[in-house]
Every structure is written in C-alpha cells, then in structure tokens.
Structure 1
C-alpha cells in the first residue's frame, strides 16, 4: 500500500453463523442471535434513510422490542430483531416499507 488510499474500518457482525457484515448471506429465514433475537438478510437498502425506514417499520410490529440494521450498500444488509414477533410479521413490515427479505 502506498499510503495514498484511505480505508474505512467497518465493524464485524459477531454472529458466528453469519460471518462478517460484507458477506452475510442468510437466506433460509431468521437466524438465531446470541441475545435471543432473530437476524434476517435484507435486499435493496442503499443508504441511512433506507435503514431508518426499515427500523421504524419493524419497530412498530407487536412484540418487537428493538430492531437494527447493519447496512451493506449494494449487498445484503442484516436486520436484527429483538422480541417475540413472528417472522411473517417482520416480513410484512419490511415489505410495507418497500424492501425485501432475502430469499422471500
């Protein structure tokens, strides 16, 4: 490296089943997380506004205590949902926000 390139450090997603945030490819529904929630792969998110839209939509689902998105522009982003909401309710909320769960 010649020292002229600036590289941004991206955080790793700590779930052992999913790998890092840039190669998360869960397609068979929600994956369990270490803190009792569920993780989903999302398609179509490109910016922070997309993230906030999905987090807000999923956050209104009955049984959701928290929802957060790890954005991967141009790839599969990761949605982590805490609470007791069903996968179908999360799917419907994501769809109502205009986005798609990967593999759906």
Structure 2
C-alpha cells in the first residue's frame, strides 16, 4: 500500500456550470491572445492524433505563442494561432506535417 500522505483535492464542478470543471463548457477559458491570432481552415484531420501533430508543428514555428485546433472529423477543422509568426511560416509547418490548409484569415 502507498504511504503517501499528501493529496490534492480537485473540484468536481465549477460555480454556475454543469459537469466536472475540466470538461464543462462554462469552465473553459482561452487567453485573449487567441482571439487576436490567425485562423486557418484545415482539411484531412480525422482524430486527436492529427490535432496533436498540427499543434506540435505550429508551435515549433518561431513567434507562435500558442496553437489550438478545433477538430471537425471529416470536415473542415480550424487552427487558431496566437503570436507574431507569419501566415506563410505556419502554413508551411502544417503542410510539412502532411495536412492541407484550405484558407487563412
């Protein structure tokens, strides 16, 4: 049996939300810088591994502070990038990872 005495209690719900605090829609917050970043429409993503690959490729670009993918399996997913990286550099990183960028805005 483990002799660990210190435990961390995690909240099961956030105030004024439903569900646990880690997956409740009311508990999610994103840094304001994501709103000001570039958005890219991506095609060819089918799973969480695709998301991880794209986010990892985008964050390796100089000037990228964060990269988040909203997956739409079989459809057009969205990559949001915050930072000072050029649109072309992020596009090159995504295509270099084997995915296609449909548009950027």
Please report the TM-score for the alignment, with normalisation by the length of structure 1. 0.65
2:49 alignment counterpart: 49
Give unpaired runs (5+ residues) of structure 1.
Answer: 1-10, 12-32
- Residue 94 and residue 46 in structure 1: after superposition, are their counterparts in 2 closer, same or farther (change >3 A)? same
Question: Are residues 1:80 and 2:80 paired?
Answer: yes
| Cα drift, residue 35 of structure 1 | 2.6
Considering only aligned residues, what root-mean-square deviation do their CA atoms show, in Å? 1.8
Q: 1 CA distance for matches of 2:70 and 2:53? A: 13
Structure 2, unaligned runs of 5 or more: 1-24, 26-32
Equivalences, count? 73
| 4+ residue segments displaced more than 3 Å | none
